[in-house]
Amino acid sequence: MNIVVPIKMVPDLVEELVIDASGARLEPDALRLKLNEFDDHAIEQAILLKEKGAGQVSVVAPDIEGVDDALFTAAAKGADRLIKLTGNWNNGVNNHALARVFANFIKTLRPELILTGVQAHNDLDGAVGPQLAEHLGMAYVGYVSGVIISDKAQVRKEFPGGLIAEMQVALPAVLGIQAAEKPPRYVPISKVRAVMKTAKIETFPAMELETAGAPLSVRLFQPETGTRATMLAGDADTVATRLVEIFKERGVL
């Protein structure tokens, strides 16, 4: 089975987020990017399926800073093909454009199953998964935390209130992974280094970015602090007197 895992890099929140001079986006130079945590789970789920005999895993990512490390780490875990899509990513990309880029390229791989992170903390315009499924005309199930493959996919999905559903999905399909069946594994640096010497990252040009459909952010700002509480000092009588005055000033009494 041909499994494709589209991944994206997101800002690492260990670093401060800086708003740029335009006031509408994050300063790219201050960003440190990391693999979206849910995509890491999607990779793990794909490798687990491969280890159960489900075939080949291709990981596809936009060619941006830090992505080589993410791809080589995926290869050290067992991914077969590493693919970078080159394009004009410098000004950032919204999920509408990213889903179109992924769909346009991934259809050439003829996947039977697409696993991707169910969400990312920088999803301002919906998740990638459902949009990708729409473009490819495939079924989509999100918030998946377990997959069994036969001629169909049997997926496990958590609902609020402690309910777990198991459902069958006809293939090909896109699954939004919330959690892999096992937590993403640790790969020793020596293994990643060895893979860097042998594995190859393939590059393909991405289609022109089409951002239509997504909202435009006009202003980004830190949460604004409201007026803080005032502590009244003094003995009980003084505090009570002042409290009554304040209530009268505000028209409560």
Partner 1 sequence: MTIPTMTNPSFNETFYASLQTPPTGERVRTCLQCGMCSGVCPFGYLMDYPPGRMIAALRSEIFDRVMNADTVWMCVACYACTEVCPSGIPLTEKLMTRAKEELILAGKVPAELQLALENSQRYGNVLGQSPRKRADWTKGIQATVPVFGKDKKAAAVLWYVGDYASYHPRVQTTSRALAKILNTLGVDFAILGSDESGDGDSQRLAGERGLFGVLATKNGQAFRKYEFDEVITTDPHAFNALKNVYPTLGISFPVRHYTQFLAERLDQLKPLLKQSVNGKITFHDPCYLGRANNIYDEPRALLRVIPGAELVEMPHSGKTSLCCGGGGGGMWLDGFQWEKAHTRTSEWRIREALMSGATTLAVACPYEPPRFEDAIKTIREASGMEVRDVVELLAESME
| Residues that bind partner 1 in the complex, under the rule CB under 8 A | 14-16, 34, 51, 183, 185-186, 188-191, 193
Assign residue 162 a region (left: φ > 0; alpha: ψ between -120 and 50; beta: otherwise).
Answer: left
Q: How far is the CB of 224 from partner 1 (least distance, A)?
A: 24
Residues 140/129, Cβ–Cβ less than 8 Å:
yes
Cβ nearer to partner 1, comparing 186 with 221: 186
Query: The tokens of 197 are what?
Result: 């010497």
Amino acid type, 40:
D
- Cα dihedral: 247, 248, 250, 251 (round 10): 110
Q: How far is the CB of 35 from partner 1 (least distance, A)?
A: 10
Cβ nearer to partner 1, comparing 51 with 202: 51
Cβ nearer to partner 1, comparing 159 with 186: 186
Q: How far is the CB of 103 from partner 1 (least distance, A)?
A: 31
Residue with tokens 């992505």: 67
Q: How far is the CB of 194 from partner 1 (least distance, A)?
A: 9
Q: Of 86, 87, 65, 84, which Cα lies nearest the Cα of 12?
A: 65
Cβ nearer to partner 1, comparing 67 with 98: 67
Q: How far is the CB of 11 from partner 1 (least distance, A)?
A: 12
Cβ nearer to partner 1, comparing 16 with 224: 16
Query: What letter does residue 27 receive in the DSSP assignment?
Result: -
Cβ nearer to partner 1, comparing 197 with 250: 197
147 - beta bridge partners? Answer: 155
Q: What angle do CA 192, 196, 197 make, to 5 degrees?
A: 125
Q: How far is the CB of 141 from partner 1 (least distance, A)?
A: 27
Consecutive H or E run containing 62: strand 56-62
